[in-house]
Amino acid sequence: MKPFRFLAEPGEVRDGPALAAAARRAESAGFSVLVYPDHLVLPLGVVPALAYAAAATDRIRLAPFVLNDDLRHPAVLAQDLATVDVLSGGRLEVALGAGWNEPEYRAIGLPFAPVGVRVARLAEAIAVLTGCFGDGPFSFTGEHFALTDHDGLPKPAQRPRPPLFVGGGGRRILSLAARDADIVGLAPRMLPGSTRADPRTITAAATEEKIAWVREAAGERFAGLELNVYPTVAPIVVTDHARHEAATVADGIRARTGVEISVDELLGSPHVFIGTVPAIAAKLMEVRERFGISSFMLGEVDELAPVVERLSGT
């Protein structure tokens, strides 16, 4: 089994000192990666935030979680990302997604294409990033992007490229991730306010189905892939009353979606972590053993630092 890797986010930081302090706490606690989201409504831009966090730390890796492919031309993004990798001494991980937050698109007049178009555009963006990170000029012609004899500079410190994370909840994007990425994020279909929200995609059975899609598409690559999950439907809750808390979460899901999920299904989900610190640590170990998932985005640093200190790197 692969060693545990834990991802932390800095929380609602709004300035450099707060971001630097959060990054240093995550590094001291043994988190592997500090992540920052990519949304126009957030107080900080993701690429400058990662560069600032890199300057404040020595070991922790940095990653967006995740970049919206539609917001930037991939050649421009490649230059920004390679610069962060160089300045951080090779600590960047590149996490890409096809975009999902339709109101954000509408707010800036950006067309929100059907999912098939967005996934196809993401596949081309990955090809462009890979070309930009390569050793010399390259050309690319696709439906969405075209480049001629472009030599992306700078080249990233990590060769041939920083690790690539691609995640999603549908078969198309997970198959793309299986073929092209190094880290595959297993996301549920739980978009806020979406009529397509399907709470049952957080269950253990749904996770097994997604992993089967990844395995089929990856072929011989599967053994080398890292699988990631993150908390969904509820934040991680440290409590002595796990079943009571899970029942409250189930009631909320029923009220929002009309879908019934049992307490046992919630507590068995790889996306739900509710219980004491020892119980959450045991759950993480069970998820790794059952599903092969070794990468976990745990949210903010402080409450779960004891879990990370216990399991990080094991």
User: What is the CATH number for 22?
Assistant: 3.20.20.30
Whose structure tokens read 């067309």?
111
Q: Domain range holding 191?
A: 5-239+277-311
| Total of domains in the chain | 1
Tell me whether residue 254 is in a domain: no
Q: What are the E-state strand segments in 160-276?
A: 164-168, 183-186, 226-229, 237-238, 274-275
- Determine how β-strand 183-186 pairs with β-strand 164-168: parallel
Tell me whether residue 182 is in a domain: yes
Tell me whether residue 89 is in a domain: yes
CA atoms within 13 A on the CB side of 248: 9
Tell me whether residue 49 is in a domain: yes
Tell me whether residue 258 is in a domain: no
Tell me whether residue 257 is in a domain: no
Tell me the C-alpha distance between 60 and 81, whole Å: 16
- Residue 277, CA distances (Å) to 77, 125, 288, 289, 310 in order: 39, 40, 17, 19, 10
Tell me whether residue 93 is in a domain: yes
- For 110-113, the CB contacts below 8 A with 24+ separation are 110/70, 110/71, 113/70
Q: Are 190 and 232 in contact (CB under 8 A)?
A: yes
Per-residue pLDDT of the chain (314 residues; tens, 9 = 90+): 899 999 999 999 999 999 999 999 999 999 999 999 999 999 999 999 999 999 999 999 999 999 999 999 999 999 999 999 999 999 999 999 999 899 999 999 999 999 999 999 999 999 999 999 999 999 999 999 999 999 999 999 999 999 999 999 999 999 999 999 999 999 987 554 444 568 889 999 999 999 999 999 999 999 999 999 999 888 899 999 999 999 999 999 999 888 999 999 999 999 999 999 999 999 999 999 999 999 999 998 887 888 998 898 89
Tell me whether residue 264 is in a domain: no
DSSP 3-state of 183: strand
